[in-house]
């Protein structure tokens, strides 16, 4: 396989050196530029797999660059970095950025997102913005696991300035568990189906609502889930999952109940809401 091409945009040579060292790999070719003009010139000469757009020179605006990249190379993935601003993050999702990372950049999340972007083939329409008010965000998410991972990261970024790091991680973990359940069980991992999720920010809480396209389930009958284990058989669901040929797991609902303050399902069992108090 030919090496994957990365383009790093940053006006600071020390940042360029840091990112280049962090992201270097035998299967990657990395180019570095200081601003949008040089980046667009390179994009016009040939395809680039991934652009990581940081703090460029001469009034550089990553969102403006993203629009230009879309017109020149629609298949090129763009990860934006910058301040923790929900409006910019939502604009990035709407303009089909692959991801957004606030600065200072943490090596772990950056490396993971870059690898995910390089591994992902179809992605452009996986996340649709339905409502983009910072206090009421609604997204339609394609029933794909990598779409769930990207959406969870966007949620992490959007809530970063509302929540402490531990509380933010609790919300992100609960969100991913429930979104994965919605995609796997409600959407049957069918990429033609979508899950709708809303993230609401009130003066005292973060509220998340997830509605899947499935027929639902009964909370009173979930033998494959840890939440239904009898007191005298705390791992009974593991045996049930093995008997039914299911993948290991089944801890999602139980885990989520321990991460958030309130957890509610609708009568059909195809919609769930949780609350985390600030």
- The arithmetic mean of pLDDT across residues 51-58, rounded, is 85
Q: Is it the case that residue 248 has pLDDT exceeding 60?
A: no
Assess whether pLDDT exceeds 70 at residue 254: yes
Residue 195 has pLDDT above 80, yes or no: yes
User: Taking residues 201-225, what's their average pLDDT?
Assistant: 82
Domain 125-278 has CATH 1.25.40.10: no
Question: What pLDDT score does 229 carry?
Answer: 55
Strand pairing report for 77-82 and 28-33? unpaired
Question: Distance of alpha carbon 100 from its chain centroid, rounded?
Answer: 9
Percent of the chain with pLDDT over 90: 67
- The single residue listed with the structure tokens 């992100």 is 172
Given a cut of 70, is residue 90 above it in pLDDT?
Answer: yes
CATH superfamily of 1-122: Response regulator (3.40.50.2300)
Average pLDDT over residues 63-83: 93
What is the domain partition of the chain in residue ranges? 1-122, 125-278
Instruction: State yes or no: pLDDT of 238 exceeds 70.
Output: no
Stronger pLDDT, 28 or 231, i.e. the higher one: 28
DSSP the chain: -PPEEEEEE-S-HHHHHHHHHHH--TTEEEEEESSHHHHHHHHHHS--SEEEE-S-SSS--HHHHHHHHHHH-TT-EEEEEE---HHHHHHHHHTT-SEEEESSPPHHHHHHHHHHHHH-SS-TTSEEEEEEETTEEEEEEES-HHHHHHHHHHHHHHTTTTS-HHHHHHHHHHHHHHHHHIIIIISTT-TT-EEEEEEEE-SSEEEEEEE-SS----TT--TTSGGG--TT-TTHHHHHHHHTTPPS---HHHHHHHHSSEEEE-SSSSEEEEEEE-
pLDDT tens, position by position, 109-126: 999 999 999 999 889 999
As a whole number of angstroms, the distance between CA 265 and CA 9 comes to 45
With a cut of 80, say whether residue 237 has pLDDT above it.
Answer: no
- pLDDT at residue 57 above 80? no
């Amino acid at each position: 396989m030919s090496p994957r091409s990365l383009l790093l945009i940053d006006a600071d040579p020390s940042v360029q050196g840091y990112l280049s060292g962090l992201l270097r790999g035998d299967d990657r070719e990395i180019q570095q530029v200081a601003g949008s003009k040089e980046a667009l010139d390179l994009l016009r000469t040939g395809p680039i797999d991934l652009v990581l757009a940081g703090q460029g020179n001469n009034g550089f605006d990553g969102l403006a660059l993203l629009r230009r990249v879309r017109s020149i190379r629609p298949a090129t993935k763009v990860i934006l970095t910058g301040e923790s601003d929900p409006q910019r993050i939502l604009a990035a999702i709407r303009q089909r950025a692959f991801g957004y990372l606030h600065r200072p950049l943490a090596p772990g999340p950056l490396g993971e997102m870059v690898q995910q972007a390089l591994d992902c083939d179809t992605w452009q329409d996986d996340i649709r913005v339905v409502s983009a008010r910072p206090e009421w965000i609604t997204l339609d998410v394609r029933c794909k696991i990598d779409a769930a991972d990207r959406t969870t990261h966007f949620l992490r970024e959007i809530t970063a300035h509302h929540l402490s790091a531990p509380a933010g991680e609790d919300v992100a973990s609960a969100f991913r568990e429930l979104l994965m359940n919605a995609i796997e069980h409600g959407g049957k991992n069918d990429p033609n189906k979508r899950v709708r999720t809303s993230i609401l920010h009130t003066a005292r809480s973060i509220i998340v609502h997830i509605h899947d396209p499935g027929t639902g389930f009964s909370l009173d009958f979930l033998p494959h889930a840890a939440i239904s284990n009898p007191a005298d058989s705390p791992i009974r669901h593991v045996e049930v999952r093995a008997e039914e040929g299911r993948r290991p797991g089944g801890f999602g609902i139980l885990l989520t109940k321990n991460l958030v303050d309130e957890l509610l399902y609708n009568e059909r069992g195809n919609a769930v809401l949780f609350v985390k108090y600030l």
